[in-house]
A and B are shown apart, each in its own frame.
Chain A
Amino acid sequence: GESVGLHLPTLSVQEGDNSIINCAYSNSASDYFIWYKQESGKGPQFIIDIRSNMDKRQGQRVTVLLNKTVKHLSLQIAATQPGDSAVYFCAAVRTSYDKVIFGPGTSLSVIP
């Protein structure tokens, strides 16, 4: 079946350093990808998305990279801040089926 996985369940970084969170997906038919941030007790919050016809997209302090050849995407957070501490999920979407598959999440801890 389809799956989405992350390489590391936890990640600790020093404040001010850059963070990289990785994700692998299994279905090559996925054509849209979303990164979410989830703080304790809250619902997932949209961070950034990317379509399969792109390989890079930048937002404010965040960049998503997509490598369709190896079915891998990553989220880069520049100058990580304590407020970035949360669980990060990637999601792979087959928009024609409106089917979204979530990965298990990476817990990011920022050390002041």
Chain B
Amino acid sequence: DAGVTQSPTHLIKTRGQQVTLRCSPKSGHDTVSWYQQALGQGPQFIFQYYEEEERQRGNFPDRFSGHQFPNYSSELNVNALLLGDSALYLCASSFHEGEDYGYTFGSGTRLTVV
């Protein structure tokens, strides 16, 4: 059973460019959340997608946008990249049905902005 898969694993971009990161959720999961994790910090919540709509959003600027597709996979887009956007970007998928709840992380995409 494949868990959460993210692509690419590593990426180097130039300041001002745009980037798209991809996430395929774990089988059976219908919700995708994105996190930014700076070095030495805990994951910071960016936003969450459910039924192809943004359901929750953390304290991130509009340069960060996303999308969820009918197959539950998701993309994270970041425009006008800043040096401070360099981080590990984590995708987590989840499901919630009655008392049953699951939350699984992918291995992340390491983004370096130069």
Contacts and interface: CB of A to CB of B under 8 A. Distances in A.
For the complex of A and B, list the 8 residue pairs with the smallest distance between their C-beta atoms, beginning with the closest: A43-B107, A102-B42, A43-B108, A43-B105, A104-B42, A44-B105, A95-B101, A102-B43
Nearest to B41: A104
A103 B42 contact: yes
Interface residues of B, number: 28
Interface residues of A, number: 23
Interface in B87-114: 88, 90, 92, 94, 96, 99, 101, 103-108, 110
Interface of B: 6, 31, 33, 35, 40-45, 48, 50, 55-56, 88, 90, 92, 94, 96, 99, 101, 103-108, 110
Given A95-B96, A102-B35, A104-B42, 18 more contacts: A41-B88, A42-B107, A43-B105, A43-B106, A43-B108, A44-B105, A46-B103, A46-B104, A89-B42, A91-B103, A93-B103, A98-B33, A98-B48, A98-B94, A98-B96, A99-B56, A101-B45, A102-B44
